Amino acid sequence: MVSSINMHKQKRRIVTKLLALMLCLGGLVGIGICLWTYIQIFAQAGMKFSSTAALFGVFIVIFGWSAWVGVELWQDKPQAYKWAKILFLLQIPTISVSHFAYQFYTALMLGLEFNRDNDKIGLDFQIASSIDFRIARDIDNIILGVNLIAVAALVYLVTVTRTTKQAQTSVVDI
């Protein structure tokens, strides 16, 4: 019984560490990509401020937040679970509709997507970090999807935090 409980805790720690790596490494890669793109935009704009450059600044903050939460999740800090759930929730949808597109993921993405242009449901796998937030007239295709890895991560984190809260309540009741 005790070894079964220890094995369960060990599996939980391994999965939590993998999610922490996804957030941390994905956040760092996202920061690198954003900084490189940010520099390119400033080089082309002649160091003028633009809304696009400001948006990339926001993206850098989001990827930085992801990296920070990943480090804290690795250290098993309780508040990291709350923020990790929010970050993985933000990574679930892929949306592209008339004049609007949104997609965000850190490190891994396994997307189950419907594309109206070719009337197909498909899978898309990416090892990278990306954030796409656009409001533009040239977006006319409808793509709706979910990041299955983010869904699994969120379900895992919700289950772990719920189980932990129940275990703490049981200990207090005794």
Residue 167's pLDDT is 57
What is the pTM for the complete model shown? Answer: 0.88
Please list, in sequence order, all residues whose beta carbon lies within 8 angstroms of the beta carbon of residue 116, skipping any fewer than 6 positions away. 141, 142, 143
Residue 97 exposed, middle or buried by CB count within 10 Å (0-12, 13-18, 19+): middle
Contact 145, 112 (CB under 8 A): yes
Kindly give the confidence (pLDDT) of every residue in the chain, 174 residues in length, as a single tens digit, with 9 standing for 90 and above: 557 778 878 989 999 999 999 999 999 999 999 999 888 877 776 766 677 778 888 999 999 999 999 999 999 999 999 999 999 999 999 999 999 999 999 999 999 999 998 899 999 999 999 999 999 999 888 999 999 999 999 999 999 998 766 655 544 444
